[in-house]
């Protein structure tokens, strides 16, 4: 018993809740060393290679490419050769009964407990067949060369390129920030007319999980393109037989059946079907309102934020008569924009962030990341919750550019058409409830950011100037900061800068001095 160990879905970040197996890099029966790369796992944010946390022999793969599993779920069994299968079943069964998943989650992420089809003999013959099908490795001349060591590529892709004499500068990276992955190499080799044996693993690896492969340049009929996307088939992996060498519907279907067609429905359908449990007719019956994905994210992130970061608040009243007048003037002069008070706040905050780089940060608990430019997140209310689209490098943008971009981002947020790049990241958040008649409020920091500014509505007050009552318009700014990385004096200085920018907007025109 003691010799049986389990490989589990690792947790790669605060927000990581589940991962999808993209590819196994070793086969059942292989010995591996601690730290060796064993499989590729994709999350909603990144695709990464999992390194073995210990050494051993891969006995059985439990989670296959395409399976999505929660963090800590078992993906493979590690055991010496000749281990008793019944012992393994016992370990897996125990795992199934004691793991921390809720009932609902279990139905979603049910582990395949029955032995997979590929036991010893069957597996060997299938692997051979798969290899024969794909053919020999041949790198086209056009891709050959020496890869320089500054190419941005996954470790595996880089090692492969060096070993095979392939120049990665010819390969287009489609990963995050243009990182080149093995699948990019594969499609480049195929596009250039070469062949590349699929990784030795389960036969379904012959079809590339294609979600991150750029298929734009592959000629295909519209129907084929759509099916390929729906089924996660790389068009590059299809043999084009259509007219003019285009990939047609039949080619995608063929590629799909070669891959061993996955079941059309997985997970979510069952999850949706799982009816909420009802109590026996209470006097005031409640309705179980399902949590949307957005609601879950808000819930998880903000309670984490309150737990991890000691919030403290600094508030200031800002006189906004000057920006009100300026705003009126710009809007009257310029047909192409309608500047809001919030646009001024974004600009003022962005400039203050650059002036106080200690506030322009992200903090993950260990490392403080300081940024050159201010990527300002702005909270936008939606029916389903809220989202914070980002004005990138807002310190470098004109008021008009900020206003135009903000208008588009706000509408996109409401129409749910924001792309992840448009709302993930950010170095500081602004939340404005002024339009709801709120005079002041406080907000919770959006990690890994370290501060958030709550902006209230403008209100008229009377101030005595030289003994005479004069009307002035004030607006409350309330900043919550993470005391682990921002101290009270720093927050106060930062707010002073924001206040100065807003009360003397001419300063913003002049630029940072």
Partner 1 sequence: MGARVAYDVAVVGGGPGGYVAAIRATQLGLDVVLIEEKHLGGICLNWGCIPTKALLKGAEVAHTLGSAAHFGFSVSDWDFDLARLVKHSRDVSSRLSSGIEFLMKKNKVTVIDARARIIAKERLALAHQDGSATEISAKHIILATGARPRPVPGVQPDGEHIWTYFEAMTPAALPDSLLVIGSGAIGVEFASFYNDMGVDVTLVEALDQLLPNEDPEVATLVSRSMGKRGIECLAATRVEGTSVEESGVVCTLIDKDGERSQRHFERVLLAAGVVANSDDLGLEALGIETDRSFIRADQWCRTNLVGIYAIGDVSGPPCLAHKASHEAIVCVEHLAGVPDVHPIDKQTVPGCTYCRPQIASMGMTEKTARENGRRIRVGRFDLQANGKALAMADSEGFVKVIFDELSGELLGAHMVGPEVTEQLQGFGVAHSLEATVEDLAHNMFAHPTISEAMHEAVLDAQGRVIHA
Residue 148 touching partner 1 (CB under 8 A):
no
Total of residues contacting partner 1 (CB under 8 A)? 21
Residue 264 touching partner 1 (CB under 8 A):
no
Residue 437 touching partner 1 (CB under 8 A):
no
Q: Minimum distance from CB of 265 to partner 1 (Å)?
A: 25
Residue 243 touching partner 1 (CB under 8 A):
yes
Contact with partner 1 (CB under 8 A): which of 311, 407, 459, 483?
A: 407
Which DSSP string corresponds to 478-497? EEEEETTT--HHHHHHHHHH
Which residue in the list 59, 334, 356, 483 is annotated as catalytic?
Answer: 483
Residue 292 touching partner 1 (CB under 8 A):
no
Contact with partner 1 (CB under 8 A): which of 337, 374, 443, 475?
A: 337
Per DSSP, helices labelled H in 212-267 are 222-231, 249-258
Q: Minimum distance from CB of 335 to partner 1 (Å)?
A: 5
Contact with partner 1 (CB under 8 A): which of 226, 338, 463, 484?
A: 338
Contact with partner 1 (CB under 8 A): which of 245, 276, 336, 511?
A: 336
Residue 414 touching partner 1 (CB under 8 A):
yes
> How far apart, in whole angstroms, are the C-alpha atoms of residue 480 and residue 224?
51
Residue 415 touching partner 1 (CB under 8 A):
yes
> How far apart, in whole angstroms, are the C-alpha atoms of residue 205 and residue 461?
69
- Comparing CB distances to partner 1, the nearer of 245 and 282 is 245
Asked if 278 and 407 count as a contact pair (C-beta separation under 8 A), the reply is no
Contact with partner 1 (CB under 8 A): which of 416, 436, 461, 470?
A: 416
The reply to whether 373 belongs to the active site is no
> How far apart, in whole angstroms, are the C-alpha atoms of residue 138 and residue 135?
9
**Candidate segments 70-78, 150-158, 284-292, 410-418, binder of partner 1 by CB under 8 A:** 410-418
A 10 A CB-CB count for 146 gives: 12
Return the C-alpha torsion angle 164, 168, 171, 177, nearest 10.
130
Residue 4 touching partner 1 (CB under 8 A):
no
Residue 396 touching partner 1 (CB under 8 A):
no
Asked if 174 and 184 count as a contact pair (C-beta separation under 8 A), the reply is yes
The DSSP symbol for 143 reads: G
Tokens at 160, concatenated: 């492969």
**E strand segments, 361-506:** 361-363, 368-370, 376-378, 380-382, 385-387, 390-391, 428-432, 451-465, 468-482
Residue 216 touching partner 1 (CB under 8 A):
no
**Candidate segments 183-191, 266-274, 335-343, 358-366, binder of partner 1 by CB under 8 A:** 335-343
Asked if 409 and 346 count as a contact pair (C-beta separation under 8 A), the reply is no
> How far apart, in whole angstroms, are the C-alpha atoms of residue 74 and residue 62?
7
Residues that bind partner 1 (CB under 8 A): 222, 243, 331, 335-338, 382-383, 404, 407-408, 410-412, 414-419
- Active-site positions read 483
């Amino acid at each position: 018993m003691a010799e049986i160990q389990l490989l589990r879905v690792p947790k790669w970040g605060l927000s990581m809740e589940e991962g999808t197996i993209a590819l196994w890099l070793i086969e059942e029966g292989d010995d591996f060393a601690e730290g060796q790369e064993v499989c590729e796992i994709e999350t909603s944010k990144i695709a990464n290679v999992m390194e073995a946390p210990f050494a051993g022999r891969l006995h059985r793969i439990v989670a296959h490419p395409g399976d999505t599993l929660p963090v800590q779920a078992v993906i493979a069994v590690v055991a010496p050769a000749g281990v008793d299968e019944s012992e393994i079943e016992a370990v897996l069964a125990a795992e199934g009964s004691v793991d921390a998943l809720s009932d609902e989650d279990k139905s979603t992420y049910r582990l395949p407990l029955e032995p997979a089809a590929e036991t010893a003999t069957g597996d060997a013959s299938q692997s051979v067949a798969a290899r024969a099908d794909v053919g020999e490795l041949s790198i086209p001349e056009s891709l050959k060369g020496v890869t320089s060591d500054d190419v941005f590529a996954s470790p595996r892709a880089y090692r492969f390129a060096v070993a095979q004499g392939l120049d990665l500068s010819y390969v287009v990276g489609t990963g995050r920030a243009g990182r080149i992955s093995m699948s990019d190499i594969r499609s480049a080799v195929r596009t250039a007319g070469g062949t590349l044996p699929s990784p030795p693993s389960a036969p379904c690896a012959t079809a590339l999980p294609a979600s991150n492969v750029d298929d734009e340049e592959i000629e295909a009929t519209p129907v084929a393109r759509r099916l390929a996307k729906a089924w996660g088939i790389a068009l590059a992996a299809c043999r084009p037989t259509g007219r003019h060498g285009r990939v047609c519907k039949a080619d995608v279907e063929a590629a799909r059946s070669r891959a061993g067609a996955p079941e059309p429905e997985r997970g979510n359908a069952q999850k949706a079907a799982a009816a909420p449990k009802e109590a026996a007719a209470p006097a005031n019956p409640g309705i179980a309102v399902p949590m949307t994905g957005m609601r879950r994210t808000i819930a998880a992130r903000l309670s984490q934020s309150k737990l991890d970061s000691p919030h403290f608040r600094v508030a200031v009243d800002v006189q906004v008569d000057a920006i009100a007048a300026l705003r009126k003037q710009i809007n009257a002069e310029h047909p192409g924009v309608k500047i809001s008070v919030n646009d001024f706040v974004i600009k003022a905050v962005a400039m203050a962030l650059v002036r106080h780089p200690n506030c322009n940060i992200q903090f993950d608990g260990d490392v403080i990341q300081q940024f050159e430019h201010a990527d300002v997140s702005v909270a936008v209310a939606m029916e389903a919750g809220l989202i914070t689209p980002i004005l990138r490098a807002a310190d470098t943008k004109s008021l008009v550019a900020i206003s135009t971009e903000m208008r588009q981002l706000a509408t996109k947020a409401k129409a749910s058409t924001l792309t992840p790049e448009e709302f993930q990241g950010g170095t500081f958040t602004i939340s404005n409830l002024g339009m709801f008649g709120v005079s002041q409020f406080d907000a919770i920091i959006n990690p890994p950011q370290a501060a958030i500014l709550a902006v209230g509505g403008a209100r008229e007050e009377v101030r005595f100037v030289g003994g005479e009552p004069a009307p002035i318009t004030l607006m409350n700014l309330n900043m919550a900061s993470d005391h682990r990385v921002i101290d009270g004096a720093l927050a106060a200085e930062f707010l002073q800068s924001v206040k100065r920018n807003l009360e003397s907007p001419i300063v913003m025109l002049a630029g940072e001095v």
